[in-house]
Every structure is written in structure tokens, then in C-alpha cells.
Amino acid sequence: HLEKFEIIITDKDLKEKLSQLSYPYFIIDLMHWEKHTEKEKKKVALQASQSYGVIRDYLWGERLALTWVNEEFKEMANFPLDKITAYEGPTWEFLREKGIEKVVLLDPWAEKDLSKEDFSAGAFIIGGIVDTGGTKKKTTPKIGEELEKRGIKVLRRKISLKGDIIGVPDRINLILEILLKMVVEDKPMDDAVLEVQ
């Protein structure tokens, strides 16, 4: 009768693969791509590229996933898409393939702040949205609604500074960095926000 046993893995590559599996995916959802002007699309692509730089400071490139990736985005993205997880289909298909049923949607319109209890989710989703003219108000909650329609459990959570979202940068790469400081480095939300400002 075996109660406890240990498996010792000596293969370096396998070891790294296994340790990656215990981390969630950080997804930039490009569902609203077509709502952007040409100039805004370039900004989305730039912030995605900066997100690639950020993820590599904390985890591995492949833990950053981009969904709804299309040809236009591929042309605008000047970073190696093969080093991240680039997915051409909708987010719910990606989640289904990975067996992820519960996600956290980073949403400035959410009632609740992101907290430690949410960290067990299989993925964190950031809207691939850039606002220059205020034409994309409340587009983040729509990402959540579409996922819920497909049976995904969505926890909508906001990031705030001293209880207010004013003062929190809304760039995709900075939201990702705040998230990584909290999830990977276990930092309190206010500290994480202040460190990226």
C-alpha cells in the first residue's frame, strides 16, 4: 500500500514543461480587433509586443496567449509569434482545447477587486483593446458575456489603487505586469500598481 511517492525527473526539458503546466495562461483577447482604427490597431500590436517582453521577465513566452489572431495582426506584430501561443480562433475554443473551465476577466467595470482567491483560475484574460476616442466603452464585459454563452465560468475582476480604478494604467502590457507581480510574485495590489506607474 503506497501512500506517498516521489518521481524524480532528470530530463531538463521535461522538467521545464511540467513546471510550466502549473501556471495559468495570460490571454490577450483580440475579439474587438475590427472596432479599432488603423492607428489604434498599431497600438494594440505594440502593446502586445511589449506584453511579450513582460511575460519573459516573469514566466515563459508560451504562457502568453493571443486569441482571434488574424493576418492583419500578424503583419503588424513585430515580435516572434512562434515564441508565444498565437491562436487564430475564438477564446472559448482555445480554453476548451486546454481544458480550462474557469477564467478571470480583468475588467475595469467589475464590482470586485482581483484577490488571491481568484488565482486558481486556469487563465487570466485581458481585453486587446485600445481606446483613443472613447468609442469602445464597456467592450471588456462583452468578452465575458461571449465566454459565458459558451459555458465558461467567468470571474470579472478589477484592479484598483486604494479602492479606485483612477490611477491604474490601462495599457494592456501594464495590466499584464500588475497581474504578474500579484500572481507570480505574490505582491499586494497597491504595491503592484505603484511599481508599474
Give all strands of the β-sheet with 64-67 in edge-to-edge order: 85-86, 64-67, 25-29, 123-127, 102-106, 153-158, 112-113
Our CB check for ligand SAM shows the closer of 54 and 129 to be: 129
Sign of CA dihedral 87, 105, 63, 22: negative
Residue nearest to ligand SAM (CB): 127
* Member of 77, 84, 172, 183 binding ligand SAM (CB under 6 A): 172
Q: 52: left (phi > 0), else alpha (psi -120 to 50), else beta?
A: alpha
Binding mask 87-116 for ligand SAM (x = CB under 6 A): -------------------xxxx-------
> Which region, judged by CB under 6 A, interacts with ligand SAM, from 13-21, 56-64, 69-77, 168-176?
168-176
Is the distance from CB of 28 to CB of 66 less than 8 angstroms? yes
Our CB check for ligand SAM shows the closer of 84 and 189 to be: 189
| β pairing state of 25-29 and 123-127 | parallel
In degrees and rounded to multiples of 5, residue 61 shows phi and psi of: -50, -40
Our CB check for ligand SAM shows the closer of 129 and 192 to be: 129
DSSP assigned state of 99: T
Residues 128-157 that bind ligand SAM (CB under 6 A): 129-131, 136-140
27 interacts with ligand SAM by CB under 6 A:
no
Q: Which residues of the shown chain bind ligand SAM in the complex (CB under 6 A)?
A: 106-109, 126-127, 129-131, 136-140, 158-159, 165, 168, 170, 172, 175
